[in-house]
């Protein structure tokens, strides 16, 4: 087998922000000469690379789609440039590649094939929400997206609340932006009044909100969450 390419895990933005404010300069520099990308969403990936000032003409960039509709048997086709010795970038829809997106499948395959994987740092909504919450940052669980079915979602919320009460582990989770307000309403109905809830909205943007209150106090005020990216946390303040 000839020389293999390197897979770069390229961090993207969490919102409408200047990349130089949230992505290290060397990480931006490493992405500017890449031609081939595996992306969850080609349109947003192109927009990000333009803002990141790629040195490659936008029309010359090559994208391989990787999203929830991609089947497992299609994954090997995405890394062909790597097998041919050409470096590639893996770009998530937002934040760090491989977290709450299908990029992990590509990373797994690259390890199996002996392809070098370089994870690059950038803004992570999960970590920013955690450290801004005031909750236990040493022991925590990220649950990703909660079930869509109402009864299953309520069961998941109650389970996270119980785990936090029994273990002290912070419980981090999220929802698609257009369902944020519905989830928030259910948290107010399902959780005990003394339970602490953290809301981290539109992180790294000028509309950022990071706030932790008890369910009882949240019932007195309703933040604007509709169609605005959020990460939620259930935890205990020391």
CB-based contact 38:90 (threshold 8 Å): yes
CA 186 to chain CA centroid, Å, is: 23
Tell me, yes or no, if the two domains 6-119 and 125-235 fold the same way. no
Predicted confidence band at 81 (pLDDT cuts at 50, 70, 90)?
very high
Q: What is the pTM of this model?
A: 0.88
Query: For the domain with range 125-235, which CATH number is right: 3.60.20.10, 3.40.50.970, 3.30.950.10, 3.40.47.10?
Result: 3.30.950.10
Question: What integer pLDDT is reported at residue 102 of this predicted model?
Answer: 85
| CATH superfamily for domain 6-119 | Tetrapyrrole methylase, N-terminal domain (3.40.1010.10)
Burial class (CB in 10 A: 0-12, 13-18, 19+), 19: buried
pLDDT tops 90 at residue 94 = no
**Domain boundaries of the chain, sorted by first residue:** 6-119, 125-235
Question: What integer pLDDT is reported at residue 67 of this predicted model?
Answer: 84
- Cα distance between residue 180 and residue 163, in whole Å: 22
């Amino acid at each position: 087998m000839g020389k293999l390419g390197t897979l770069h895990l390229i961090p993207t933005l969490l919102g409408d922000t200047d990349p130089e404010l949230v992505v290290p300069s060397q990480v931006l520099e490493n992405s500017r000469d890449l031609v081939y990308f595996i992306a969850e969403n080609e349109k947003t990936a192109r927009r990000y690379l333009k803002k990141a000032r790629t040195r490659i003409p936008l029309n010359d960039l090559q994208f391989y789609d990787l999203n929830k509709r991609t089947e497992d048997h299609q994954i090997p086709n995405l890394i062909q440039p790597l097998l041919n010795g050409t470096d590639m970038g893996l770009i998530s829809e937002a934040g760090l590649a491989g977290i709450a997106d299908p990029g992990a499948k590509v990373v797994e395959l690259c390890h199996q094939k002996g392809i070098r994987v370089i994870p690059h740092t950038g803004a992570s909504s999960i970590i920013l929400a955690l450290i801004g919450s005031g909750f236990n940052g040493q022991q925590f669980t990220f649950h990703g997206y909660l079930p869509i079915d109402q009864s299953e979602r309520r069961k998941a919320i109650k389970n996270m609340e119980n785990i936090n009460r029994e273990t002290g582990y912070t419980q981090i989770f999220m929802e698609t932006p257009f369902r944020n307000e519905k989830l928030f309403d259910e948290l107010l109905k399902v959780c005990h009044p003394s339970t602490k809830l953290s809301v981290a909205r539109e992180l790294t943007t000028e509309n950022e909100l990071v706030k932790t209150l008890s369910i009882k106090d949240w019932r007195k005020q309703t933040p604007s969450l509709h169609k605005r990216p959020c990460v939620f946390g259930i935890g205990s303040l020391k």
